[in-house]
Structure 1
Amino acid sequence: MPRVPPFKEIIARSPLVFVIGVAGDSGSGKTTFTNAIRQIFGPDLVATITLDDYHKYDREERKRLDITPLHPDANNLAQLEMDVARLKEGYAITKPVYNHESGTFDPPVPFVSKKIIILEGLHTFFTPRLRELIDFSVFVDPDREIKYAWKRQRDTKKRGYSPAEVAEEIERREKDYEEFIAPQRCLADAVIRISASWYGKEKGQTENIYRISLLQHRMSRVIADADLTIDLNSLLLFHDRDFSIEFSTEAVACERMRALTFDGEMNYETVRKLEKSIEQQTGVHPIAIFENRKTIAATDLVQLILSWRIIHRRIFLQDRS
C-alpha cells in the first residue's frame, strides 16, 4: 500500500493557509489556549500575530483623544484585513509593531506567511471581512474578577504601568468592552469560559487551577476513527487529586451552546490516550505538551481538546481542497 503521509506533512505541502482567530479582552489568557497548536506543529508551520500591533494611536495619543484600545476607531482594522488576506494567499507582509513597554510603535518588520496563522486580539473577528478570512474562531471569556486580576499582574510587571494606571484603565475600558468586544462571543466557533475552581478560589493564584468550560456548537461532521478517550481505569484506580467533568447546555449571549467543563487536576496518564489520538492524527510523535508532568489542570486539558477540534476543522478543509 502507498504510504499515507502524516497530517503535519500534508499541511506542510498544502497551499492552504489556515487562520485561527482568538478574541477576548486584554489580559484574558488568549495566548494560553493556542499554545498547544504552536507546540504540536512548531514554528516552521505556525506564526502568530498580536492585533495590538494594529493600534492606530500610541499610549499618549489615546490619553489625549480619550479613547481606549477596545474602541474599533483606535485600531487600523482595514490594514489588518488587507494583511490577513495577503497572508492567506501565501504572501509576506510588512507588519507594524506596537511596543507595550514604551507605549509607542517600533519600526515595522517583515512577516512571512506560514501554513497556520494565529490572530490574537481584541477585534479578531469584529468585521465581516475578518470573519470571512478566519477558518476557526475562539472567544476567551474569563470571569470579570479573574480577568482583571490577570491584567493587573501583567500590566504592572510586564508593561510598565503603575497600579493606579491599571485601575484607571480598567474603569475606562468597561463600557467599550461590553459594546465592542463581548458581542464577538456570538460569532465564535468555540467559547472558553474561565471561573474560580470549586475546590478553592485561591487555587487560581497559587496553583493556576480554574474551572474551565469549552462551549461549542454541535459538530455536523466527525472523524469516524477519532479517539477522544479519557482513561477511566486510571482515574478510578490511581487518581489522588480532586477533579470534575461536566457536560451541559449553556446560554452564551445570543444562543445556547454545548459546554464541556473541567475543574481541578488530573494525573497525566488519565489523558495520555487523548494525547496519543492527536499524535496519530498529526503524525507528531511525541506531543510534548505535558512532558515530565505528573498532573495536568483543566486549562491544560481544554488546550488539548481545543487543539483536536481545530485539527478536525483543518482536516475537513483539506478534504474539500
Structure 2
Amino acid sequence: MSKRHPIIAVTGSSGAGTSTTGQIFARLFAREGINAAMVSGDSFHRYTREQMARLAAKGQFGERNHFALAANHIDRLEALMYDYSHTGNGRCRQYVHDEDHDLIAAGHKPGTFTPWSSLPADTDVLFYEGLHGGVVSENFNLVQYVDLLIGVVPIVNLEWIQKINRDTNKRGYSPEAVVETIINRMDDYVKDIVPQFSHTHINFQRVPLVDTSNPFIARDVPSEDESMIVIHFREVTDVDFSWLLQAIPQSRLSRHDTLVIPGTKMPLAMDLIVRPMVQRLMAGKAFA
C-alpha cells in the first residue's frame, strides 16, 4: 500500500459485473477530477483467443481456463502493483475485445493483446478490475499493494445466468458451450476466485428475488427491480450506517456489518460508500 500512489481493485468472476462497476468508478473519477490509470484483468491473460482454442482442441485448455492463476500473468500483475505503489508507474497491455473498434482500426486483431508498455505518466491512482485483484497464494500476494479492494459477487446461480446470457447474446456461443465452460472451470473458481472475497474491504453481492433454481434453463437475467444487493463491510469503524440508511431508500441492516438495499440503488450506494473512501485516499496522497 502507498499513500502517494494508491491502488483500487475490483475483483469478481466473469459475468459478475466488474466491468459495470468499472464504469461507475470511471464516472466517479471524472467527477472528482482524478486522473486514474485504468487496467483490465483481461490484459494479464496468458493466451490469445486462438491459442486457447488450439489448446482446448487438444484437450489441454490453456492451463485449464482464465480463472486459473496458471492461465494468467499474475507475476506481471503483481509487478505492476509493486511498481505503481513505489513509483506511480508500471507496465501493462490491453486485450483486444470485439467491440474495441479503435484498437481494431489501429491494426490489432480481436482476441489478441497490444504490446506491453508503460502506464501514462502522472496518474493519481491505479484502478484494476478483473478476475484476480485480491489474489493471495503460495507464490503471490496482491492484497498487500491494494488500498481499497472491492468484491462484486452475485450469488452463483445468478452469476451463471448472467454469463450464459452475455456469452450467447453478445459473444455468439451456444448455451451448451457456455455451460460446459462453467462446469470445466468450477475447480478453479473454488480455488482461485472465491478465496479473494475474504480479503476484500467491501463485497457487493446481488441476490435475485425470483426463482433461479435451475440457471441452465433460465433465459432472462433478473432485473434490478427483481434483485437486492447485500453489502458487507470488513471494517465498520468508519461506516456511517445511520446516514446510509437515510440516504438509500428502502435500505436496512441485516447484521451489524451488512447493509441490504434494492437492486436499483446499486449505483447510488456505491457512490455514497466508495466516494468518501476515494476522497480519503486522495487526501492522504496530498500529504504523503
- Whether the TM-score (by the shorter chain) exceeds 0.5 is yes
Secondary structure at 1:150's aligned position in 2? Answer: helix
Within 5 Å, which residues of 2 pair with 1:166-315? Answer: 166-197=178-209, 205=221, 207-209=223-225, 210-221=227-238, 228=244, 230=246, 244-249=250-255, 258-263=257-262, 297-311=264-278, 313-314=280-281
Residues 206 and 24 (structure 1), Cα distance of their counterparts in 2 relative to 1, 3 Å cut: closer
Q: How far apart are residue 126 of structure 1 and its match?
A: 0.4
User: What's the counterpart of residue 57 of structure 1?
Assistant: 47
Give 1 or 2 for the bigger CA radius of gyration: 1
Q: How far apart are residue 188 of structure 1 and its match?
A: 0.7
1:115 to 121, 124, 140: 124
Residues 35 and 105 (structure 1), Cα distance of their counterparts in 2 relative to 1, 3 Å cut: closer
Q: How far apart are residue 192 of structure 1 and its match?
A: 1.0
C-alpha distance in 2, partners of 1:91/1:302? 29
2:154 to 131, 142, 152: 142
Residues 39 and 90 (structure 1), Cα distance of their counterparts in 2 relative to 1, 3 Å cut: farther
User: What's the counterpart of residue 79 of structure 1?
Assistant: 76
Q: How far apart are residue 246 of structure 1 and its match?
A: 1.8
* Range moving further from structure 2, 78-87 or 108-117: 108-117
For the 8 Å contact 2:6–2:285, the answer to whether it is kept is: no
Count of aligned pairs between the two proteins: 255
Identity of aligned residues (%): 23
The AA in structure 2 aligned to 1:188 is T
C-alpha distance in 2, partners of 1:320/1:129? 27
Residues 248 and 318 (structure 1), Cα distance of their counterparts in 2 relative to 1, 3 Å cut: farther
Q: Does 2:112 match 1:104? A: yes
* Uncovered stretches (5+) of structure 2, i.e. residues with no partner: 99-109, 213-217
RMSD (CA atoms) = 3.2
C-alpha distance in 1, partners of 2:155/2:276? 24
Residues 96 and 162 (structure 1), Cα distance of their counterparts in 2 relative to 1, 3 Å cut: farther
* Range moving further from structure 2, 22-31 or 305-314: 305-314
C-alpha distance in 1, partners of 2:252/2:75? 41
For the 8 Å contact 1:34–1:307, the answer to whether it is kept is: no
